[in-house]
Amino acid sequence: MRPLSRNEASMLRYWAINMVSAGYRWVGFDYEEREKQRFAAIKQAMPADAYQTWTAVTVMLYVAAAFLSVGLFFGPLLFFYPPGTPIQESVLYVAFAGMLISLLTFALPLAMAIGGRIADRLNRAPPFVEADGDAALYAKVRMQIGRIALIGVVVLGLLNWITWAFDVDLTRYDAIVHWSYFGILAAQGVLGYLFARART
């Protein structure tokens, strides 16, 4: 397996910091003891100022992602429904669920990764010193994130279909919005697959 690129090393560095700080309590992200020890070593080698910058930048990016997610899932309601047109409660449930799932499965890892690249540049963090097994560990992390993202897409896709198929009072506006959600999910599914596939 080829060595880590600069972006990949940055992602592994800040994902390690995240997992150590979170106490490995994320569902779907399990690691062996030797992998935890490597994560701890990566975190220990990180300067405090770079860590603080990463935390601040990641929070700001995540807040921005939250606004974007609201726009993606609630925007179609404002765009397709004429003023005064009733909106089915099931559509609102799907919009809210879509916002939450997107924030947890896509926005958070992306904010961490971009925040890490910014922190590296602003604080001139020391170069990442790759150790044996880091490439495989990064590939595992990448697969885990992609898998969780795909699970989120499937769950939300099923919820979208169920509320559409079993709501007898659907209007033509509801149908348009549901199709727009399927389009968003398709795009997310492609991104999740690209991230989960094997690293060469």
* Model pLDDT for residues 78-115, shown as the tens digit of each residue: 888 888 888 888 888 889 998 888 888 878 888 888 88
Between CA 110 and CA 54 the distance in angstroms is 13
**Is residue 11 within 8 Å of residue 116, measured between CB atoms?**
yes
Its pTM stands at 0.82
Say which DSSP state 199 is in: P
- Per-residue confidence in pLDDT tens, the chain, 200 aa: 678 888 888 899 999 998 998 888 888 889 999 999 999 999 998 888 888 888 999 999 999 988 988 998 999 988 888 888 888 888 888 899 988 888 888 788 888 888 888 888 887 778 888 998 999 999 999 888 888 888 888 988 888 888 877 765 667 788 888 888 888 888 888 888 887 776 66
Q: Which two tokens stand for residue 84?
A: 């005064």
What does the domain layout of the chain look like in residue ranges? 6-196
